[in-house]
Structure 1
Amino acid sequence: MLIAERIPLDELSSRGESSSFLQTAFWARHKERFGWKSEAIRWKREDQEGTLLILLRTLPAGLVLAYVPEGPDWTAGKEDRETFLVELSQELRGILPLGCFFIRYDLPEFSVFDEPAPSFNTVLKKAPLDIQPPDTVVLDLSQGYEPLLRAMRKKTRYNIGLAAKKGVRIEKAHPDRLDDWYSLYRITAQRDKIGIHPFAYYENLFSLLSENKESRLELFLASFEEELLAGIIVLFHKNEATYLYGASSNEKRNLMPAYALQSFALKEAVSRGCTTYDMFGIPPSNDPDHPMAGLYRFKTGFGGEIRHKPGAWDYPYSRLLYLVYRLLESMRKFYHKRWKKR
């Protein structure tokens, strides 16, 4: 039997099994600033228990969708994962708002390299859109930077050296330089045809984490002489580092500032005692025809373990409302993935 109850938001950090920053109180407070509400839940099932952050989005006509980022912990109900998720969803129905017509899980379990991602085939429905990137590459930092450097592809090591030789300068920047970074991010979004949040979204993240003891956000900038070429935002959470956002100019890309930035961030992660560095999103395979094939080559060039997560899966509370929403979401996917990128 599975039971669930509400808990204070701050107990997510102290009780949660998941190490993901997406299951923390600071992430909940960040999303609340931009239209979401949150519920912190503690669940118990036989000899297992854990906590869960659920984000709630209100839609027209009083409807609500529930979203669980990177949860629940992959060890929960591992012997029959789908049965566990169904039981959890049914129990949460009494806690979620009356207008909630489905709950979506962005699941943390994964397969590696060319193995197919975990999937389900009975009650849960694969979502038309994934919220978090289901495919990524994670670097092992436990042996330090030098073994990591030796394991990188030859071209990646060459580009890191080239940036240093040409005089690309990397700095750990104060958050007051975030507006400079955002100017580059807008250029990147236009060049690569990707959607980005308003400036306040990134500013709020830095504000929330300025005094956080277990999580820290850093802005690294790359310059040549006095010209800003690129910048990345990296999150350090417990023993994990995650490359969240990257921006670059259209100028002097031949100086390889993106490689210098990642090298700097990796060294910083090692110095902080991090054991993993998550590149946080790659295309699902090494397909040269994929629109983001260059991103795949860039990120996998640093080595690491390629991971494939199952992505987002839904448990409907109202089948009719859910089918309508799926149709609208599929149309949105077509617009963003096909039409907008033509």
Structure 2
Amino acid sequence: MSEFNVKEIDKSEKPNGGSFLQTPFWCSFKARHGWTYRRFFIEENENKDGKECAVLNRNFCKGFFSIAYIPLFPKFKNPTEDFVIQLYKMAEALKPYLPKNTIALKFDPDIIFDTPELRDEFNKNAAVVSEKKHLNIKKNRVDIQPPDSTQVDLTCSVNEILEKMHSKWRYNIRLSQRKGVTVKKYTGSSVNLSEKVDKFYELTKETNARDGNSSHAKSYYLDLLKYSSEQISAGNDCPLVTLYIAEHEGEEIASIMTLFSHDEAIYLYGASSNKKRNLMPNHLLQWTAMQDAKEYGSKYYDMYGMPPEGKNENHPMHGLYMFKANFGGKNIHRAGTYDVPLKKSVYALFILAEKMRAFWHKVILKKIRGR
């Protein structure tokens, strides 16, 4: 089994490629909001196949302990259940570079399966290997990044992208246009940005009240837009973050925020009013962003999170599943978050608290709110 050599590096060779979560832009943005990060070049002894990655770290309980996190890394093209051994060895190689109070290293490995059943079977078998080898590597019940998504291919023509959509979705886009819905775009350099982020945040609160979700602070969204424009204006090759707002007769009724890089376009956040939903503004917003992403040069448009299944009309998230899946993308299913404990006793307490928090938000609060 391979061993790993680790070398700290100052900058990335692909600052605007690969997963946006690994870009210097995203990591430095997260550093403005409570995280720290360092970049490494990790080389596998067995085949000298080196890759760079970012490791983020965040303190909890006033610095009593911290969690390290590696998003969308490492990539496994042909994974076997022995990948937990590789995660363990990689964590051991990185451990000397982590803060002394780090209790666990969390991985979101870049492993993609065609069906949720294949993914679930893989995770089940990986747990058996971890137990057999006494590695104590855990598949976390709470995934940091959405493990299930759908990705629309942007490398084909505009007409081909439309043809892959469900016919009703093409109709909804045209309906929205016919009814007079327009889409306006704002970046961090827009003169009226603060006003538009205020509106986005109002719509976000309305959406949260309707769906029982939570969101970031308004300052987080504003800073994300501004920081992207600041970096681009400084001549840095970094992702473009854009705010789209759909309007009808002067009323702003829906909004999304996107991130475009050379490889991918990400639908980061979305919100909509309870009013005029029959005008299908969300369909037009997504289609406008997809066209812009294609022009930018992104290879695919990632809806960034959906239920693993939901075609059955009785499924509780049927509506969300159908909305995203019917844009004609390819559904993907990642393995999810894996934890490598470094301080087992403190980690066990952290996991207990994490489970209680998830139960409170996903069960208790939803029952209190009647959902």
Give the shorter-chain TM-score range.
over 0.9
- Quickly say closer, same or farther: Cα 1:22–1:12, change in 2 above 3 A: farther
Provide the C-alpha distance between the structure 2 equivalents of 1:261 and 1:51, rounded to a whole number of angstroms. 35
Percent identity between matched residues is 35
SS of residue paired to 2:345: helix
More moved, 38-47 vs 248-257: 38-47
Listed one character per residue, the Cα deviations across residues 74-132 of structure 1 (whole Å, up to 9, x for unaligned) are 35987942222111001111111111111111122111245422422213201121111
* Structure 1 equivalent of residue 37 of structure 2: 38
Deviation at 1:288, TM superposition (A): 3.9
* Structure 2 equivalent of residue 312 of structure 1: 337
Amino acid at match of 1:313: Y
The alignment status of 1:267 with 2:291, answered yes or no, reads: yes
The alignment status of 1:332 with 2:332, answered yes or no, reads: no
* Structure 2 equivalent of residue 196 of structure 1: 215
SS of residue paired to 2:118: coil
* Equivalent residue runs for 1:7-46 within 5 Å: 7-8=9-10, 10-11=11-12, 13=14, 19-46=18-45
Provide the C-alpha distance between the structure 1 equivalents of 2:316 and 2:212, rounded to a whole number of angstroms. 10
The alignment status of 1:137 with 2:163, answered yes or no, reads: no
More moved, 158-167 vs 59-68: 59-68
Contact 2:107 2:337 in 1 (8 A): yes
**Runs of 4 or more consecutive aligned structure 1 residues displaced over 6 Å after TM superposition:** 76-79
Deviation at 1:194, TM superposition (A): 0.7
* Equivalent residue runs for 1:64-213 within 5 Å: 64-75=66-77, 80-117=82-119, 118-119=122-123, 120-121=126-127, 122=130, 123=135, 124-175=137-188, 176=193, 177-210=196-229, 211=232, 212-213=236-237
Provide the C-alpha distance between the structure 2 equivalents of 1:319 and 1:141, rounded to a whole number of angstroms. 45
TM-score, normalised via structure 2 length: 0.86
* Structure 2 equivalent of residue 221 of structure 1: 245
Provide the C-alpha distance between the structure 1 equivalents of 2:296 and 2:150, rounded to a whole number of angstroms. 20
Query: Structure 1 regions of 5+ residues with no counterpart?
Result: none
Amino acid at match of 1:160: I
Provide the C-alpha distance between the structure 2 equivalents of 1:87 and 1:76, rounded to a whole number of angstroms. 18
Contact 1:65 1:101 in 2 (8 A): yes
CA RMSD of aligned residues (A): 2.0
Amino acid at match of 1:45: E
Provide the C-alpha distance between the structure 1 equivalents of 2:160 and 2:78, rounded to a whole number of angstroms. 34
Amino acid at match of 1:274: S
* Equivalent residue runs for 1:233-248 within 5 Å: 233-248=257-272
Amino acid at match of 1:261: L
Query: Structure 2 regions of 5+ residues with no counterpart?
Result: none
Listed one character per residue, the Cα deviations across residues 251-271 of structure 1 (whole Å, up to 9, x for unaligned) are 110000000111111111222
Listed one character per residue, the Cα deviations across residues 22-51 of structure 1 (whole Å, up to 9, x for unaligned) are 001111111111111112111111211111
Provide the C-alpha distance between the structure 2 equivalents of 1:266 and 1:217, rounded to a whole number of angstroms. 13
**Aligned pair count?**
339
SS of residue paired to 1:133: coil
Contact 2:262 2:299 in 1 (8 A): no
* Structure 1 equivalent of residue 6 of structure 2: 4
SS of residue paired to 2:106: strand
Deviation at 1:219, TM superposition (A): 1.4
Amino acid at match of 2:222: E
Amino acid at match of 1:101: I
Contact 1:28 1:53 in 2 (8 A): yes
More moved, 105-114 vs 191-200: 105-114
Provide the C-alpha distance between the structure 1 equivalents of 2:239 and 2:80, rounded to a whole number of angstroms. 28
Q: 2:347 aligns with which of 305, 315, 322?
A: 322
Contact 2:116 2:308 in 1 (8 A): no
More moved, 154-163 vs 286-295: 286-295
Provide the C-alpha distance between the structure 1 equivalents of 2:107 and 2:83, rounded to a whole number of angstroms. 12
